[in-house]
Amino acid sequence: MTEDNRKDPIEDVTEFIGKDEHSKSLALPRQLMPRRMYLLPVTNRPFFPAQVQPVVVNQDPWQETLKRVGETDHRVLGICFVDHPDPERDIPASEELETIGCAVRVHHAQEEGGKIQFIAQGLQRIRITQWLRRKPPYLVEVEYPGEPEEEADELKAYTLAIISSIKELLRTNPLYGEEVKQYLSRFGPDDSSPLADFGASMTSAPGRELQEVLDTVPLLRRMEKVLLLMRKELEVARLQAEISEEVNDKVQKHQREFFLREQLKVIQRELGMAKDDKTADVERFQARMAELAPPDPVRERFDDEIQKLQVLEQGSPEYGVTRNYLDWLTQVPWGRTSPDHFDLAQARRILDRDHDGLTDVKDRIIEFLAEGSFKGEISGSILLLVGPPGVGKTSIGHSVADALGRKFYRFSVGGMRDEAEIKGHRRTYIGAMPGKFVQALKDSKVSNPVIMLDEIDKIGASYQGDPASALLETLDPEQNREFLDHYLDVRMDLSKVLFICTANQLDTIPRPLLDRMDVIRLSGYIAEEKLAIAKHYLVPRLLKRAGLLKKQLGISDAALKQVIDGYAREAGVRNLEKLLHKIIRKGIVKLLEAPDTPVKVGVADLVSYLGQPPFRKEKSLKGTGVVTGLAWTAMGGATLSIEASRIHSNQRGFKLTGQLGDVMRESAEIAYSFVSSNLKRFKGDPTFFDKSFVHLHVPEGATPKDGPSAGVTMATALLSIARKEAPQQNLAMTGELTLTGQVLPVGGIREKVIAARRQKIANLILPEANRGDYEELPDYLKEGLSVNFARHYNDVFQVCFGNKPRKGSSVH
């Protein structure tokens, strides 16, 4: 017969501890314990003999076990702890169960919802001596380990220590009181063994540590372990009590403050000293609007929204939307303006205070202010300041606002892709807000501020709309009298606002938008202007920011000139400021090392402060086929050397290099055709190009170039190699050339003249049609220059080669 199929041995068990078949004495109830019993594994924590508590197990597979236990007279069940059950198996293997467990008596077993619940009354320790069945229902043979005798005094001391710990636990957690009552109903306070087990069961120690207590049969050793566990439990309980007390104090404080505030509100309301939040909102909005002079449509909309707010509940989402709308509507400065100052002398002083140079720009702004002074108001004006980075466009906007005595508001439209940034979101969207212009009026608190739109040439477009198109209404004096913001949904008058826009170039600004603006060009600074700006503005400002005195750190004029010439040749002064800041930082390091020695920076020191200069004195290209042209870039003017060379005389050909754009390539083709067809008139070999392969190159090869203004320069380079004669030196030119030899006007004359002065070129050739542009330049820019104006290429030829072309018709 196998172990699992044999007849249930417990049905024939009549052996009990302490009950001998020959003994006639009565047995005590705790002594009537079976030697064979069914076994139930538990995984949370072991069960102790002194415990009485509910146990819940799954109906499958332990229903049969509890059924068989219920059929016995003694209803005794063994409970053993499983520390780490195998997660892949629902039923633990017999090897996983601990050897020492607890015999319990089962009371009130009930089945419900796939679970079985029963009350387990702990009786006595058991030690498994033999497995009779290793599958559920588990059946084992056990023995009841006896406790050795211990010294009475020591036992009493440990008992008192455990009782003291239990009392302390009761003070920290009153829930333990019920467990103590159950214990005292079964045992006395002097029963040391049950007391030790009961003390261990009260702790929240891990199952492994509790099993060690259960495994320890000698009482003194067991009580030592129990006392250690209870001390840990007391420390945790004290810490928990402190945390709970701290949290309760905070909660009680907030609750007390809340109740006091509510009581204060009620008292104030009863005395007429305060109103509820809704009434306070309504009165605040009405008080704001009473100080303004809104148009009738705005007043009607305000009254409608106030009525709506009064009937809405404060918890309603619509209440928050309406409240935010009224908040914005009443913060727009309807009818509130600041007086304009039309003192032209004061305006001139402010412009001169903030900017060196830019005389023509200052004159243009003074003219603009004079027109407003004569008219009595400045309205319907949109200025566009165009120039390279770092020339002072934004600071000029500040100066104009100061001169007029108006509030200034600036925002950048560079990279803006959503038209809602201009005209606002509709109120139906979550997080809706008005557009930038409404926000500008709110922040400035007047309806006639100076609003600067920075980087208008870099405005974008996307699927969310085209902000540039949305600006058309804003920047049109005929339309912005009734500007409509989508959020406010009422008409606003922006005609009193002075709009100042800035841009680096005009090419990327939409033409309809550009037509609405009055363009003022800011060209780059020449070296003398940069030196004055560095001395008067940049160096003092940087010293102030660093907390330095002039006597502590000084930069000589010669050093400033070298920085401008060798390190910062760009049109603006932004990079110059960065370089000066770098010098000051390094100077501060030296001051900290030697505080009593002032730092003086000269030309010889610049290499140690800034490194080797990126710009060195340029060696002007000379020789046959080399001509200097003038070009305009977004960074200002530049000189451009154009080289032409005859490669071989095997066949006719023409090659272009230098990353030239389509327009510049066409200019080169026109120059080639014009010179080829008119070579005899210009005293060259008429057959030169018929048998020559010519290469035209525009350095630098890595820089893209385009534009029509290099036509006369290319023609002169080609004519130079055909005549085998170098043109006049120290000469630069610009102008568009046609097939008939006409020299057409070009743009950027100021920038090109500044570039020529920077390279110390004294002789220029400009188109006759640009004479007016040159005459408008300030005298300090024209000083020392010799300028020849050309209507036809004949005039260019005469200046470059010193003689007149032969008379006769051109070949077309």
Residues designated catalytic? 709, 752
Q: Name the β-bridge partners of 520.
A: 385
d(CA 449, CA 337): 8
The dihedrals phi and psi of 714, each to the nearest 5 degrees, come to: -65, -40
d(CA 467, CA 461): 7
d(CA 600, CA 555): 6
Return the number of other C-beta atoms located less than 10 Å from residue 251's C-beta. Answer: 10
d(CA 294, CA 335): 6
d(CA 343, CA 276): 51
Identify the CA nearest to 553 among candidates 587, 604, 586, 592: 587
Give 398-464 as a DSSP string: HHHHHHHT--EEEEE-TT---THHHH---TTSTT----HHHHHHHHH-SSS-EEEEETGGG---BTT
Give 645-707 as a DSSP string: EEEESSS-EEEEESSB-HHHHHHHHHHHHHHHHTTTTTTS-TTTGGG-EEEEE-S-TTS-B--
AA identity, residue 279 = T
d(CA 165, CA 230): 7
Identify the CA nearest to 707 among candidates 771, 645, 634: 634
Q: Name the β-bridge partners of 161.
A: none
CB 355 within 8 A of CB 395: yes
Q: Which two tokens stand for residue 81?
A: 């702890």
Q: What is the DSSP letter of 812?
A: -
Q: What is the DSSP letter of 520?
A: E
User: E strand or H helix at 138, and its extent?
Assistant: strand 138-143
Give 549-575 as a DSSP string: -TTTEEE-HHHHHHHHHHT--SSSSHH
Identify the CA nearest to 452 among candidates 519, 506, 407: 407
d(CA 444, CA 421): 18
Residue in the block written with tokens 């008992």: 159
Task: List Cβ neighbours of 700 (8 Å cut-off, separation of 6 or more).
Answer: 658
AA identity, residue 41 = P
CB 13 within 8 A of CB 73: no
Burial class (CB in 10 A: 0-12, 13-18, 19+), 736: buried
Burial class (CB in 10 A: 0-12, 13-18, 19+), 807: exposed
Rg (CA), the chain: 50
Give 465-479 as a DSSP string: B-HHHHHHHHT-TTT
d(CA 229, CA 523): 86
Task: List Cβ neighbours of 752 (8 Å cut-off, separation of 6 or more).
Answer: 630, 631, 632, 637, 734
